[in-house]
Structure 1
């Protein structure tokens, strides 16, 4: 799957998952047709603001919006990425679109780890919320936490062994 810029778009079909490559993460939207997508935007995030994107990590509320794909992508690149089709069965397109339309302009819970933009669009397409991006982040946080604990324990043991020598 090749990544495209807004000026050289690929041809998404209604119900497709759109992966937008932002500087620090991927943003996800669902293609509705006629150039429009539906996506969740944290309340404090502008259309494609890098600072807003970083601030979205701390947001806990988002607004569901229908926007032009080109506006969501901005100067970034994107691709159609229905990567979960191998493990999840997509709902019929008319059901996906109907589900999506029921959320327009609603405020929803937002959490980077368990209720993010990828969770939202996969819930629309498959009926279940999935996010490998969040799973990887949780794994990284767990690894850092374990590593920090191990280093703290080693430091404590090292300082106790030094204390005995004096």
Structure 2
């Protein structure tokens, strides 16, 4: 096992194999799964051509395909912060660590479909850990889109109603 120097006070806790890692990017969170020895598995845009971790993750918003990569946690985190966040452990039982790692290693290097709302990086790692794909981030975005759509529809309806009322003699 490598030295523990990459997990300092700014990044509390030492992840264990199978842990979910939440990386805080400006405006969103990127998710990875810890494999051990400082390595994680995550999805990255297929057309990734820049070494900047935050920028390459931001490109995934517009990508329809992603590459499953095994990378050093410190390289993926870059200057951002992260935390261990196994937030669904109360909802789902994690698979055995050996099974999580076996499933993860099988996917390394494969191209997978990517969809910000239905198949994103959080869906990917929760499927590995729990056998269930879930993303609170996507659920919040879908809820916000629904609210904005409903509000826009209501405002349009009110505008039409007001327009008709003002045309009546």
Say whether the fold is shared (TM-score over 0.5): yes
Classify 1:160/1:5 alpha carbon distance in 2 versus 1 (closer, same or farther; 3 Å).
farther
Unaligned runs of 5+ in 1: none
One of 66, 69, 72 as aligned partner of 2:70: 66
**C-alpha displacement at 1:159, in angstroms?**
1.0
Q: Which runs of 4+ in 1 moved over 6 A?
A: 4-7
Q: How many residues are matched?
A: 162
- Residue 38 of structure 1 corresponds to which residue in structure 2? 41
Instruction: Give the SS at the match of 1:28.
Output: strand
- Residue 96 of structure 2 corresponds to which residue in structure 1? 92
How far apart are the structure 1 equivalents of 2:51 and 2:162?
51
One of 149, 154, 157 as aligned partner of 1:150: 154
- Residue 27 of structure 2 corresponds to which residue in structure 1? 24
How far apart are the structure 2 equivalents of 1:67 and 1:76?
16
What is the TM-score of this pair, normalised by structure 2?
0.89
Classify 1:83/1:48 alpha carbon distance in 2 versus 1 (closer, same or farther; 3 Å).
farther
Find out whether 1:106 has 2:110 as its counterpart: yes
Work out whether residues 88 and 126 of structure 1, in 8 Å CA contact, stay in contact via their aligned partners in 2: yes
Instruction: Give the SS at the match of 1:41.
Output: strand
Unaligned runs of 5+ in 2: 1-6
Report which stretch shifted further, 82-91 or 55-64. 55-64
Classify 1:20/1:50 alpha carbon distance in 2 versus 1 (closer, same or farther; 3 Å).
closer
Work out whether residues 5 and 75 of structure 1, in 8 Å CA contact, stay in contact via their aligned partners in 2: no
Query: Deviations along 1:59-108, whole A, 9 cap, x unmatched?
Result: 11000000000011011000000000000000000000000001001000
RMSD (CA atoms): 1.8
Work out whether residues 17 and 30 of structure 1, in 8 Å CA contact, stay in contact via their aligned partners in 2: yes
Classify 1:48/1:18 alpha carbon distance in 2 versus 1 (closer, same or farther; 3 Å).
farther
